[in-house]
Amino acid sequence: MIKARTKTRPGRQWRVGREHDRRLKAAFDARDIEIPFPYVIVVPGRDKASAVVATVVGKADESR
């Protein structure tokens, strides 16, 4: 996790924040660092009684 705190003029915080994110993404891309995204993989199937079930294989991080 990366956290940053920046002082800026009132009303400019969104523009400054987007520029920070753009520069950080460019730096990560230049070093081939991948930004992971939360995801869920659901594998559909059937149990022994022929009922349709789904198995969760990967789970998104819910710690936020």
Q: Which residues of 17-31 are buried (b: 16+ CB within 10 A; e: fewer)?
A: eeeeeeeeeeeeeee
pLDDT at 62 over 60: no
pLDDT at 64 over 50: no
Q: Which domain holds residue 26?
A: 13-58
Number of domains in the chain: 1
What is residue 38's predicted lDDT score, i.e. its pLDDT? 75
CA–CA distance, 16 with 34 (Å, rounded to integer): 23
Domain annotation covers residue 51:
yes
Mean pLDDT of 36-61: 68
Question: What DSSP element (H or E) covers 14?
Answer: helix 13-30
- The tens digit of pLDDT for each residue in 1-41 reads 788 898 999 999 999 999 999 999 999 999 999 888 777 77
What is residue 19's predicted lDDT score, i.e. its pLDDT? 95
58: number of CA atoms within 13 Å, CB side?
6
**Whether the predicted model's global pTM rises above the 0.85 cut:** no
Domain annotation covers residue 40:
yes
Please say whether the dihedral angle defined by the alpha carbons of residues 20, 26, 30 and 32, taken in this order, is positive or negative. Answer: positive
